[in-house]
Structure 1
Amino acid sequence: MVQQHQQELKKQLWNIANTLRGNMSADDFRDYILGLIFYKYLSDKLNRYCDNLLVEDGITFVESDDELINELRDECVENLGYFIAPKQLFSSLAKRGDKKEFIIQDLERVLVDIEHSATSADSADDFNGLFEDLDLNSSKLGKNPDARNAKIAQVLTHLENIDFHLENTEIDILGDAYEYLIGQFASGAGKKAGEFYTPQQVSKILAKLVSLAGDVKSVYDPTCGSGSLLLRVARELESSGKQGSHQLEFCGQEQNPSTYNLARMNMLMHGVRYDKFDIKNDDTLEHPMHMDKRFDAVVANPPFSANWSANDLHLNDDRFSDYGKLAPKTKADFAFVLHMIHQLNETGTLAVVVPHGILFRGAAEGHIRTHLIKNKNYLDAVIGLPAGIFFGTSIPTCILVFKKNRINDDNVLFIDASNHFEKGKAQNHLRDSDVDHIIKAYSKRESVEKFAHVAELSEISDNDYNLNIPRYVDTFEEEDAVDLDAVATDLSDIETKMSTVDADIAEFCKQLNIKAPFLAGKE
């Protein structure tokens, strides 16, 4: 029942998005529909919460007088982190919009008031600027105010007619549907939108890798995008029975302001309390916001080969100073890796997606790679992924796993999963069986022909700390041996037959008193 409801909800939401956006790009419309879904979620959640508080009084929230509303305001801000007045509920504005009333100005006021309701509360950072991407006066919505009002009213009406609530499970259902929409917009908008979304199966691998040991109390993503990867770790811990998501502390940082807003919305939509997550908006490499914290699990899919300052001042930074060299200015991959290692606690696990080039490039990257393995001995595994599984890029990628206190500290596991996928038209996909195959190989840590190899540190040293996977996992498939005798016999047969044909043609041409074309120049 739950799964059926969830699938129907996803289908309805995506149909609404495609029907209502008109000529607007999917990337632009994303901010409107996701923002308004979030407003509905906050509204419905608060309405139910207040109705439950008022059961003994025999009235509902919308029937409350001003005095009671003020009392409920304090209760809601303390426990939910925000407040919405009865007349500002989503259902109220949707009804007015359905009656063709002009509601855009009132809606703008509501969204501002929701943010302001948390201004003096502990939840202030999590609600500040949440709706700033919803420009209700943008010409993208319509050429004039009436056209824009009609468009917004349509969206509200459609959303109001969807049953988002299923007893005791509405958070997961709506949160997952919201995450589904983020993924749909990412795949529809290509590379730009793909920057804030990691394909679900890749997220699952990363989450499983950092969750295997259990006892994860904190998780961190320095390039958290929409926050889906953080939530995937919680889901993995929960589904494996190791712990509930309510026990987790979520921390992340995201440079893009719009995506940062999505991440905070995504957290709240999945029922994460405002005091259990700390998402910051800034450049992680230049302005890290969680330097005083260390985490049990660190996961990330940083932008591949991004630019960064590589300023020499970073050589005095605790994150990079021990390595003697900085990641190149045009390839920040190792800068992200070293940042994440710095944030990892002594017993935690780090899993990060990186481009293949990081495994074998020389110069500063070769120096850092050698130091990480030879002097630090932090690298635990290298997992090669198929090409074409990320939105907007076909470059081959891999997952690096790091631990500061490794059980298997005399070897590194190499897994080549590059040929294990389902081919798609625009994008390749990892199947559940592919994910399970990778995790099983990592857990067993045994050499498997053409798939996995346990490399002694001496072997890596002999390869001059080049981690290119084909050096360790031989996936070459020999072609069937050629029978030269059989080929010679076939050629002899062909020559015999051709001679017979030539003779027949020559005889035919003689009868016609013409010269056979293949005899030209031979007489």
Structure 2
Amino acid sequence: MALKKSDLYSSVWKSADELRGGMDASQYKDYVLTLLFVKYVSDKAKSDPYSLIEVPEGGSFDDLVALKGATDIGEKMNIAIRRLAEANDLQGVINNADFDDPNKLGEGKAMQDRLTNLVSIFQDIDFTGSRAEGDDLLGDAYEYLMRHFATESGKSKGQFYTPAEVSRIMAQVLEIPKDAPRSTTVYDPTCGSGSLLIKVADSAPNGLSIYGQEKDNATWALSRMNMILHGNETHNIQQGDTLADPKFLKGEQLQTFDYFVANPPFSVKTWKNGFDKEYGRFDGFAEPPEKNGDYAFLLHMVKSLKSDGRGAVILPHGVLFRGNTEAQIREELIKRGLIKAIIGLPANLFYGTGIPACIIVIDKKEATSRTGIFMIDASKGFEKDGAKNRLRPRDMRKIIDTYLAGEEVERYARMVPLSEISDTKNNYNLNIPRYIDTSEPEDIQDLEAHLKGGIPNRDLDALGEYWDAFPNLRDELFRPLREGYSELTVEPDQVAKVIEESEDVKTFTSTVSKAVEDWWSSHRGQLEAIDSQTRPQELIEDLGDDLLEKFRGRPLISEYSVYEQLMSYWNDTMHDDVTLIVGAGWVEAAQPREARITGYDNKKKPKYEVADLVFGTGVKAQRWVTDLIPPALIIDRYFAEEKAELDRLTAEQERISQELQEYIEEHVVEEGLLWEAVNDDGGVKVGDARKRLKEARAEAAEAEEIAALNHVVKLFTAETAAKKAIKEAISELDKKILATYVKLGETEVCDLVIGEKWSGVIRSKIDTSIHSIVQALIRRTETAGGRYRSTLDSLQSEADKLQSEVKAHLEKMGVI
């Protein structure tokens, strides 16, 4: 069975759990990532005789497995990993973590058990086919760990990781040609764990020549491992302080590169420590302020860029508007035409800081002829993800599409002329809100409408996007009242009914559904052709690009909201499904597998992953997991009659249970017919009823009590029989379901997965988007209709009426 992304993630994160308590996240990541590295290169060496990583005798993961349970496991693991490091010139890279440290791993038996469990977790993962699957599962797992470690490391130690979503945007804004040769260079002077560089290299079909420098030694080691795990064995990542000791030189000058990307530490106050040589980085510019290193890093990158090069850097928003020396540097950059674009990002995206940041795109190629700076304000497009914010697929795609098109989007993007930036009002201030107003139009109250009633036509005109999509609906809902004002044609509580039953809405829904159907049908052949050569990332790019095109320009429904539905399902489920099919084939991927043991309880009993089909109980139970085709699809396709019978049995059991509950509640009151059968909990169970029935008969109790007890015992018996019938029906149905999986051919599997599972969920998600649009119109129409419903005259009349009624009551009471 192929390796699923979610299974890999679960396993590697579980390995981190084995180390919790002994150290913080910034430390235990070194242990986990080291083992991930050793396991991967060992598996790769077995399957690839041309692997660039040599796995020596005594330095493989199998050698670590052989140490499980040994009293000196920590010491021997250190030796094995050191052998691997020495064979590949990776000393100080993969052997930094001390597996024999009792302060972090415990002493004696505690260390022995912890390391044995840690090795066992990775032992069950097989990486031999990960590259053949055409998808970077391992790299994604490494990044998954990085994100979690960064989250848990806190502000001071989480800066080694740039969120993958931001990295993908930066890779695209560089606009690297598809035919760029592998000799094309990309440079990151503050490369951290290297993920940003890797994303850029992955965006070039032929790959790129990677150069990077990282100050922190442990993070430098992470980046070296990251490169190898992502298949970039040939790279040049140096360790040292870029500003004080740049490693990439050409004689006495800085080496230059075709592209750069960077996410330098924000506003470093100690950037001048050890800084004794400028290397021409500040030629023509003011020297950056001593207590803020943002522009020091930026000017280093500008100097390290070839005359026709392009780069993208993440910096805090302050660089766009801070004054004094930084204002002088900013003005000179603008005058030289070096800044091509600025993309404002949401706050709280980055680990180590919550402040908002921006991407600044530097482009030397057309600098002299540049007449404007393209600005995007993407600060409002995100979702909450725990304590941080995160860009959604729709947010990333909208930024990239808008940037590449270079077209103005209202309240989102525009090309700002340099003449506007340099005028006396702005004076080279690049703060994005100066040039793009993202605020929503104010909701204006109409005084005349409050006085005389009616809905201002301008409020209805503001809903123009809805009337474009539903051309007849405005006339169905509103009619003229007087010049400039309208009124509802229906009562406010009928608005929802009129809109939902409108032919325009039905036509719109049908049109969208037809577009989705056409899009899905056009890719049916491509999906059926998924095999071992399929690259999942290319597949989803094809699907996503075409879906965007199908919905681009349609009224009311955003192509990005539809795209988000596809991508969220891809990330949650479909990518795992495709990975399984690529690795095992359609038929094999559809077969149930035995549930895996996920751990053990305090009594050493195994705990299993959630199973879809279970036969028996306890440790002897058979537990089956159906990764690709859920049992519900098998039932709907092949066992409709059995399902109908099961539904009938369930309904009958629920009827009996309800009748039993109601009967008990009716007669457990004090002195009621079942009062003598009430237990200490205030209820009646079958044992209580039978015991009291026996006593009542012996006591020759009243016939009504005996009859009631007989009836309640009968209901209990009927309920038990009904539950037993359901359990037997479920068991029989489950047996039939399990037997059916074995009989499925490739055609049936394709039809179930593509035609029902994938298609059904995606359609349902897009239908939800349509429903949200309709509900939004209902709310806005009800608001418009209700806001001016009570005029000043009607309110005055109501007040007069109430005053008269109060006066009348007071007169009757003799008060006045």
TM-score category, normalised to shorter length: 0.7 to 0.9
Does residue 501 of structure 1 match 2:795?
Answer: no
Which of the numbers 174, 180, 188 marks the counterpart of 1:210?
174
Does residue 200 of structure 1 match 2:161?
Answer: no
Residue 13 of structure 2 corresponds to: 14
- Mapped to 1, the partners of 2:377 and 2:52 lie a distance apart of 46
The answer to whether the Cα contact below 8 Å between 1:310 and 1:328 also exists between their aligned partners in 2 is no
Residue 38 of structure 1 corresponds to: 37
Amino acid at match of 1:437: K
Which of the numbers 443, 458, 464 marks the counterpart of 2:404?
443
Stretch deviating more after TM superposition (37-46 or 458-467): 37-46
- Tell me the CA shift for residue 465 of structure 1: 0.7
Amino acid at match of 2:237: I
* Secondary structure in 1 matching 2:210: strand
CA 1:212–1:492: 2 relative to 1, 3 Å: farther
1:405-437 CA-partner distances (Å, limit 9, x unpaired) = 227622211111222233444322222222222
Aligned ranges 1:96-495 → 2 under 5 Å: 96-97=67-68, 99-118=69-88, 124=89, 127-166=90-129, 168-169=131-132, 172-214=136-178, 215=180, 217-238=184-205, 243=206, 245=207, 248-273=208-233, 276-292=234-250, 293-310=255-272, 316-323=278-285, 325-374=286-335, 376-406=336-366, 409-462=370-423, 463-488=426-451, 490-495=791-796
Stretch deviating more after TM superposition (250-259 or 21-30): 21-30
CA 1:506–1:313: 2 relative to 1, 3 Å: same
* Secondary structure in 2 matching 1:322: coil
1:42-89 CA-partner distances (Å, limit 9, x unpaired) = 33334445xx48xxxxxxxxxxxxxxxxxxxxxxxxx7365521x332
Amino acid at match of 1:475: T
The CA RMSD measured in Å over matched residues stands at 2.7
Amino acid at match of 2:313: V
CA 1:140–1:380: 2 relative to 1, 3 Å: same
Residue 80 of structure 1 corresponds to: 52
Amino acid at match of 1:201: E
Amino acid at match of 2:238: K
Amino acid at match of 1:287: D
- Mapped to 2, the partners of 1:95 and 1:309 lie a distance apart of 48
1:354-386 CA-partner distances (Å, limit 9, x unpaired) = 111111111011000001111x22110111112
Amino acid at match of 1:452: A
- Mapped to 2, the partners of 1:268 and 1:442 lie a distance apart of 32
Larger Rg belongs to: 2
* Secondary structure in 1 matching 2:249: coil
Amino acid at match of 1:220: Y
- Tell me the CA shift for residue 258 of structure 1: 1.4
The answer to whether the Cα contact below 8 Å between 2:78 and 2:100 also exists between their aligned partners in 1 is no
CA 1:310–1:29: 2 relative to 1, 3 Å: closer
Residue 93 of structure 1 corresponds to: 64
- Tell me the CA shift for residue 143 of structure 1: 3.3
Name stretches of at least 5 consecutive residues in structure 1 with no aligned partner.
54-78, 119-123, 516-523
* Secondary structure in 1 matching 2:389: coil
* Secondary structure in 2 matching 1:88: coil
1:22-55 CA-partner distances (Å, limit 9, x unpaired) = 5643333211111111122233334445xx48xx
1:201-255 CA-partner distances (Å, limit 9, x unpaired) = 10000011114445261111111111011110111113xxxx2x2xx21111112
The answer to whether the Cα contact below 8 Å between 1:141 and 1:147 also exists between their aligned partners in 2 is no
The answer to whether the Cα contact below 8 Å between 2:19 and 2:105 also exists between their aligned partners in 1 is no
CA 1:15–1:326: 2 relative to 1, 3 Å: same
TM-score (norm 2): 0.54
- Mapped to 2, the partners of 1:346 and 1:15 lie a distance apart of 48
The answer to whether the Cα contact below 8 Å between 1:314 and 1:321 also exists between their aligned partners in 2 is no
* Secondary structure in 2 matching 1:307: coil
- Tell me the CA shift for residue 336 of structure 1: 1.0
- Tell me the CA shift for residue 335 of structure 1: 1.1
CA 1:508–1:343: 2 relative to 1, 3 Å: same
- Tell me the CA shift for residue 129 of structure 1: 0.4
CA 1:315–1:178: 2 relative to 1, 3 Å: closer
The answer to whether the Cα contact below 8 Å between 1:211 and 1:237 also exists between their aligned partners in 2 is no
- Mapped to 1, the partners of 2:807 and 2:239 lie a distance apart of 85
* Secondary structure in 1 matching 2:204: helix
Amino acid at match of 1:301: N
The answer to whether the Cα contact below 8 Å between 1:187 and 1:193 also exists between their aligned partners in 2 is no
* Secondary structure in 1 matching 2:383: coil
- Mapped to 2, the partners of 1:102 and 1:383 lie a distance apart of 54
Amino acid at match of 1:444: A
1:330-355 CA-partner distances (Å, limit 9, x unpaired) = 32111111111111112221001111
- Tell me the CA shift for residue 198 of structure 1: 0.9
- Mapped to 1, the partners of 2:289 and 2:803 lie a distance apart of 68
- Tell me the CA shift for residue 500 of structure 1: 4.0
Amino acid at match of 1:108: N
Amino acid at match of 2:440: E
- Tell me the CA shift for residue 470 of structure 1: 1.7
1:467-520 CA-partner distances (Å, limit 9, x unpaired) = 1112222323222332112334534543443444345445545655669xxxxx
CA 1:373–1:311: 2 relative to 1, 3 Å: farther
Number of equivalent positions? 467
- Tell me the CA shift for residue 268 of structure 1: 1.0
Amino acid at match of 1:295: F
- Mapped to 1, the partners of 2:409 and 2:269 lie a distance apart of 38
The answer to whether the Cα contact below 8 Å between 1:417 and 1:451 also exists between their aligned partners in 2 is yes
* Secondary structure in 2 matching 1:350: strand
Amino acid at match of 2:165: Q
CA 1:145–1:330: 2 relative to 1, 3 Å: farther
CA 1:281–1:504: 2 relative to 1, 3 Å: same
- Mapped to 2, the partners of 1:313 and 1:436 lie a distance apart of 40
- Mapped to 2, the partners of 1:350 and 1:26 lie a distance apart of 32
